[in-house]
Amino acid sequence: MIHAISGDGYFLQQIGASGFTGMVHSVFTHALNIQSEANGEIFTLATKAMDNAPNTLIIDLDTLGNLHIHQHDRVSVQHDQLLIEDKVQIAMQTATRWQCQLPIFPTDQTCLKTNVVTVKQFINLHGKSGGMKRSNSSISEFEAETSRLLQQRTSLLREELMNQRFDHFQSYAIDLVGLGPGLTPSGDDFLVGLFAIIHLENSPCYIYKQLCESAINMMKPLTNAISYTTLKKAANGQVRESICSLIYSILYGTEADSIQALRKVLAIGSSSGTDIALGLISGLEANIKLGG
């Protein structure tokens, strides 16, 4: 019997309601995704190495590698236990509830202004290139073209925010979805960071919140189901714990706090963490320019 450690409130609610069923969608070393039969939504089981995240349940394991779970295995809930075929039983009573709670945008922006500069400098030095961050080494034609389009399209989106324009916000955002070869394409990751900032209450960019939420349906066919779920959650102000912590540190913490939190975000995926962080920075810079 495996014990659940913590879980996203919405996921716990889904499991608690009788009749949750699904299929294993994809399996990795530290996470496996389940596609709900009811609405096709993706939910994730993750090992202790991962942080809390929307639609995610953290379980008391170091690896999923030796459970012999395969794509299309059946998932069900019985007697407060999540079952994957007859291979895995997860006890749900032990799970504490986690809920993404984004901070409120501060009235005093002193910390924010200092920390944004520090964080940006750190990303320039230590961020992973290959996505939003240009690579200094020689790259293939495909990588160069991807990089060019990412730069061009994020610039357009940033300008739209900086000038508080609305006309093309959605189309520029949509043009980024699915751009990049990774499981979560760089364009998607950038938007996850940006959408999180847009959802900071009292911030100048908060006015774009409705546009994020309404654009998300148009994004569904443009990326894979795993990345879309993350994007959809971010478009509704729900992001993983390490991203919440980074935002909080930048808004209210010291430079050291910000760098410490940033390191955790930069460790996400290959270039995903860097791409997310650059999305955050773009949003925060727009907020600073627009005067908070």
Partner 1 sequence: MSIKVVIKRNTYFDSVSLMSLSTKANQIEGVEQAIIGMGTEMNKGVIRNVGLMTSEVEEATAGDLMIIVKTANAEQTESAYLAVEELLTNKNSAQAKSDIKYATIDSAVQGIPDANFAVISVNGAFAVREARKALENNLHVMLFSDNVSVEDEVELKTLAHEKGLLMMGPDCGTAIIGNTGLCFANAVRKGSIGIVAASGTGSQEVSVRIHDFGGGITQLIGTGGRDLSKEVGGIMMLDGIKALDADEATKVIVLVSKPPEASVEKKVLAQIKECSKPVVVYFIGGNEEAVVAAGGQFAKTSKEAALKAVLLAGIDEASINKRALNLPLIEEVRAKLSPEQKYIRGLFCGGTLCDESMYLAMEKFYNVYSNIQKNPDFLLKDISVSQEHTFIDFGDDDFTNGKPHPMIDPSSRIERFLQEAKDPSVGVIVMDFVLGFGSHEDPVGVMLPAIMEAKQLAEKEGRHLEIIGYVLGTDLDTPNIDEQVKKLVDAGVTHASSSTNAGLLAREMVLKGENHE
**Contact footprint for partner 1 (CB under 8 A):** 26, 28-30, 47-49, 62-63, 65-66, 71, 121-122, 125-126, 130, 136, 140-142, 145-146, 149, 175-185, 187, 221-226, 254-256, 259, 269-272
Closest separation between CB of residue 236 and partner 1, Å? 21
Closest separation between CB of residue 6 and partner 1, Å? 13
Beta carbons of 99 and 9 less than 8 angstroms apart: yes
Nearer to partner 1, 61 or 77 (CB): 61
Nearer to partner 1, 49 or 104 (CB): 49
Nearer to partner 1, 170 or 287 (CB): 170
> What one-character-per-residue DSSP string does 158-187 give?
HHHHHTT--TTHHHHHHTTTT-SSSSS-HH
Interatomic CA distance for residues 273 and 282, integer angstroms: 14
Closest separation between CB of residue 58 and partner 1, Å? 10
Nearest to 14 by CA among 76, 94, 73: 76
Nearer to partner 1, 77 or 123 (CB): 123
Closest separation between CB of residue 10 and partner 1, Å? 23
Closest separation between CB of residue 229 and partner 1, Å? 12
Nearer to partner 1, 50 or 77 (CB): 50
Q: Vertex 115, ends 111 and 127: CA angle to 5°?
A: 165
β pairing state of 42-46 and 2-8: unpaired
Exposed e or buried b per residue across 119-150, where buried means at least 16 C-beta atoms within 10 angstroms of its C-beta: bbebbeeebbebbbbeeeeeeeeebeebbebb
Closest separation between CB of residue 19 and partner 1, Å? 25
Interatomic CA distance for residues 247 and 287, integer angstroms: 13
Nearer to partner 1, 178 or 292 (CB): 178
Interatomic CA distance for residues 153 and 282, integer angstroms: 13
Tokens describing residue 217: 């349906």
